[in-house]
């Protein structure tokens, strides 16, 4: 959520930003909020004036009673009673206006960075840089589900019976390889100085609405029936939610955390759930990172965070590239974002394995995450980045380390987590 001062002082900037995100249907909201805010401030001013006058009259009543002027005191008391009713009416009107303004403000997108490329959707994202040489071997690389099946590592028939489409059983060496990657990602981030965290896997609705837009929530989140709880789609939501309504000590900044969690997603939309493989599924595991910092530090942290993901994937012998997300591909709370994509030698193209985002103070403003500076309290900046998402990282590792004899080479960094194994072989 942006600061309402932007609408008060520079409506055209907010409108231009909405146009850059191709959300013209929201343009009228800016004028609506502007007019409602004027009314809100008039009501508040009127109410404050009446409260001040009421207090003044109340003091007079006490003085008159002490001076024995009971009749005058009673007349003023009648005025005070009438004022109190007016104040109660104005208070109710102020609360109603504040609620309406807040609901409309939640829909206005964050101001995007000046260097964000302008485009309608992810097809217009811009490649920035490649890391590692993408190669296609002379021998054929099977579809990832077929590679996993060679090791008796995937059972989607059983998961279909227990849970339905979009779920899976990982078995044996493949399941161990998936866990090895997550364990390595955890230790990798701890070595970077991040505090390890296992967060709650369910969060309340006031946290959900604080960390993401309503559109995203409807498309992603599973709600627990009969309770005010949602299964997390990604652990940065509960990690950021940890600091809801908090005033963080300035000398404890930045807060850097990395978390493990399962993730649950409805995956509503055009892409759909993958029938055979594990690329797009309802459940996976993830190592995540978040940073909460002073506003002046968030740009530098953004650059560090996506580079950590690149470094980790290169350590797994996987070529990757960085894509700058265009304006139309940015979720409403994002100031800027980039995707990290891994090379697929089977498809001869890259595919997304992670995303890094700077949300400036938009998320912190919704959740009231602040710190106390020399000139008073101010909102902090929040950032998040995927370290490693289990299913997509597993696909990238299997394809890029697949050997001609059907075995899969285990990268050196993972071998200690695999009991010293250097490869997994066909059953």
**pLDDT bracket for residue 271 (50, 70, 90):** low
Q: Which residue reads 């993958």 in tokens? A: 274
No. of H helices and E strands in the chain?
A: 13, 18
- For the chain, give every residue range classified as CATH 3.30.930.10: 122-424
What's the Cα-to-Cα distance from 419 to each of 117, 410, 412, rounded to whole Å? 46, 11, 12
**Global confidence as pTM:** 0.90
CATH top class, domain 122-424? alpha beta
pLDDT, position 62: 65
- For the chain, give every residue range classified as CATH 1.10.287.40: 4-105
* 341-376 residue pLDDT tens: 999 999 999 999 999 999 999 999 999 999 998 889
Q: CATH number for the 4-105 domain, one of 1.10.10.10, 3.40.605.10, 3.40.50.300, 1.10.287.40?
A: 1.10.287.40
pLDDT, position 68: 73
CA 332 to chain centre: 10
DSSP class per residue in 232-249: -SSTHHHHHHTTTT-EE-
Asked if residue 380 has pLDDT above 80, the reply is yes
Residue 188 CB: number of other CB atoms within 10 A?
A: 20
Mean pLDDT across the chain: 93
Residue 340 CB: number of other CB atoms within 10 A?
A: 24
pLDDT, position 272: 61
Asked if residue 326 has pLDDT above 60, the reply is yes
Q: d(Cα 395, Cα 346) in Å, to the nearest integer?
A: 10
Do the Cβ atoms of 321 and 344 come closer than 8 Å? no
Instruction: Tell me the mean pLDDT in the region 367-392.
Output: 95
Q: Which residue reads 């740009």 in tokens? A: 299
**pLDDT bracket for residue 268 (50, 70, 90):** low
Residue 25 CB partners (closer than 8 Å, separation 6+): none
Do the Cβ atoms of 171 and 158 come closer than 8 Å? no
**pLDDT bracket for residue 130 (50, 70, 90):** very high
Asked if residue 270 has pLDDT above 60, the reply is no
**pLDDT bracket for residue 313 (50, 70, 90):** very high
Asked if residue 70 has pLDDT above 60, the reply is yes
Percentage of the chain modeled with pLDDT above 70: 97
Residue 341 CB partners (closer than 8 Å, separation 6+): 320, 321, 322, 323, 350, 351, 352, 353
Q: Name the token pair of 148.
A: 């996993």
Q: d(Cα 318, Cα 312) in Å, to the nearest integer?
A: 9
3-state secondary structure 70-98: HHHHHHHHHHHHHHHHHHHHHHHHHHHHH
Residue 364 CB partners (closer than 8 Å, separation 6+): 292, 370, 379, 380, 381, 382
Percentage of the chain modeled with pLDDT above 90: 83
Helix (H, G, I), strand (E, B) or coil at 304: helix
Q: d(Cα 310, Cα 319) in Å, to the nearest integer?
A: 9
* 27-65 residue pLDDT tens: 999 999 999 999 999 999 998 888 888 777 777 776 677
Exposed, middle or buried: residue 238 (CB in 10 Å: 0-12, 13-18, 19+)?
A: buried
* 206-255 residue pLDDT tens: 999 999 877 777 778 999 999 999 999 999 999 999 999 999 999 999 99
Q: Which of 360, 246, 338, 240 is nearest to 294 (CA)?
A: 360
With the CA atoms of 259, 265, 269 and 273 taken in that order, what torsion angle do they form, in degrees rounded to the nearest 10?
A: 110
């Amino acid at each position: 959520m942006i600061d309402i001062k932007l609408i008060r002082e520079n409506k055209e900037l907010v409108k231009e930003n909405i146009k850059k995100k191709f959300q013209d249907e929201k343009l009228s909201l800016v004028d609506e909020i502007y007019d409602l805010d004027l009314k809100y401030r008039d009501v508040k001013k009127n109410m404050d004036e009446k409260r001040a006058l009421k207090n003044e009259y109340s003091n007079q009543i006490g003085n008159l009673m002490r001076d024995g002027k009971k009749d005058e005191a009673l007349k003023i008391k009648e005025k005070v009673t009438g004022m109190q009713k007016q104040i109660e009416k104005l208070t109710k009107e102020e609360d109603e206006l504040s609620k309406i303004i807040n609901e409309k403000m939640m829909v206005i997108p964050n101001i995007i960075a000046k260097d964000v490329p302008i485009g309608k959707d992810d097809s217009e994202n811009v490649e920035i840089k490649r890391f590692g040489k993408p190669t296609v071997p002379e021998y054929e690389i099977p579809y990832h589900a077929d590679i996993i099946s060679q090791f008796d590592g995937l059972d989607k028939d059983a998961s279909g019976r227990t849970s339905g489409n979009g779920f899976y059983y990982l078995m044996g060496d493949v399941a161990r390889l998936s866990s090895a990657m997550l364990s390595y990602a955890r230790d990798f981030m701890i070595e970077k100085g991040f505090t390890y965290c296992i967060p709650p896997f369910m969060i309340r609705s006031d946290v959900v609405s604080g960390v993401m837009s309503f559109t995203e929530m409807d498309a992603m989140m599973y709600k627990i029936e009969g309770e005010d709880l949602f299964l997390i789609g990604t652990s940065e939501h509960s990690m950021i939610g940890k600091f809801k309504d908090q005033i963080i000590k300035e000398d404890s900044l930045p807060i850097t955390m990395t978390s493990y969690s399962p993730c649950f997603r409805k995956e509503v939309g055009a892409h759909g759930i993958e029938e055979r493989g594990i690329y797009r599924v309802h459940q996976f595991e993830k190592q995540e990172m978040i940073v909460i910092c002073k506003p002046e530090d968030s740009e530098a942290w953004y650059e560090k965070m996506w580079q950590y993901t690149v470094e980790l994937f290169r350590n797994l012998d996987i070529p990757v590239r960085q894509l700058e997300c265009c304006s139309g591909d940015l979720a409403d709370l994002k100031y800027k974002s980039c995707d990290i994509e891994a090379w697929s030698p089977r498809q001869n193209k890259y595919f997304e394995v992670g995303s890094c985002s700077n949300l400036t103070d938009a998320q912190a403003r919704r959740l009231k995450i602040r710190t106390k500076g020399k000139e008073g309290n101010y909102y902090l900046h929040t950032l998040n980045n995927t370290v490693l998402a289990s299913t997509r990282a597993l696909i990238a590792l299997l394809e890029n380390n697949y050997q001609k004899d059907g075995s899969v080479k285990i990268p050196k960094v993972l071998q200690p987590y695999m009991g010293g194994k250097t490869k997994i072989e066909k059953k």
